[in-house]
Amino acid sequence: MKIIVTGSLGNISFPLTEILIRQGHEVTVVSSDPKKHNAIENLGAIPAIGSISDVRFLTNTFKGADAVYAMIPLSFTEPDLVGYFHNISQNYAQPLRESKTKRLVFLSGWSADLINGENIEDIFDGLETSVTILRPAAFYTNFYQSIDLIKGKGLIGKFLTLRYFGLRALLTGKTGLLMGNYGGEDRIVFVSPKDIADAAAEELLLLPEEKTIRYVGSEEMTCNEAAKIIGNAIGKPWLKWVLLSDKEMLRGLKMAKLPEKLAEMLVEMQAAMHSGKALENFRQNNPKMGKIMLIDFAQEFAEAYHKN
């Protein structure tokens, strides 16, 4: 099969490309970074260097393809994130329509249908294309974004330790934490990007007659259980996951200079996780879980943590 993989050599697209190449498919990898050209070729894939904002580029790239794996990279600079998601989805839909590509596997999120205005999955309705929506749970790799917080760096780190764990923790060096407007004893499904890649590879070879939705997860646990696994791996067995209110979380994201609409969307997404609605949907669909456990990822995380 001729398969298009968007997402450059990212956390999902890289292992997905490796799987598809091993299976003998002709794989074209879309990347906006010309520096990735050789790395893509070295995998045995065909580089397509251009922007997913360029409909003409996508139309030319999709010509003759049997299947497309499409994703939208999260932007931390777009002032109107919902508009950005809709525009890129439309950019995918038009070339799919013109090229009459038979198969689309689209990466969404496990709370996408719970966030006002964020669900863009319906844009692909009406295409003469077999569509599957992947709804992965909370990525293991999100922990990388919290390394500074876990380390408890600087005055802010000391202040947070003092505020949430007290003077004794500060004096004994037990600094660092995880935090969000989901956390504590909230039960969450976490997922490895490699398990998402496995699911995408399976779905690209199928051709269901109607649109299907596939939830993807690797392991379910409480946030504090996850924090303990990460903490044990890095030598901080006391690590906890502090639960913030929505207002506290929004204020923190704005202080971090995130665009307002992005901050609001992230808070709403995490609120859906805290409420249990995302987990309820996941359990109702009862998907087969992946094979990579958080304790496996924690060893990779520990290496990055100690290098940082």
Angle 260-275/246-255 helices, nearest 10 degrees?
150
265 close to 82: Cβ distance less than 8 angstroms: yes
CA 62 to chain centroid, in Å, comes to 24
Helix axes 81-99, 55-62, angle to 10 degrees: 40
Can you tell me the distance from the alpha carbon of 119 to that of 110, in angstroms, rounded to the nearest whole number? 11
Q: Please identify, in words, the CATH class of the domain defined by 140-188+220-307.
A: alpha beta
Helices (H), 130-242: 147-151, 154-165, 167-171, 193-204, 223-234
What is the per-residue pLDDT for 118? Answer: 59
φ/ψ (deg, to 5) at 289: -80, 155
Return phi, psi of residue 125, to 5°: -70, 145
Spell out, as residue ranges, where the chain has pLDDT lower than 70. Answer: 117-119
pLDDT given for residue 153 in this prediction: 84
H or E element that contains 2: strand 2-5
In the prediction, which pLDDT does 308 show? 76
Rg (CA), the chain: 20
**Hey, where are the domains in the chain?**
2-136+192-216, 140-188+220-307
CATH number of 2-136+192-216: 3.40.50.720
pTM for this predicted structure: 0.95
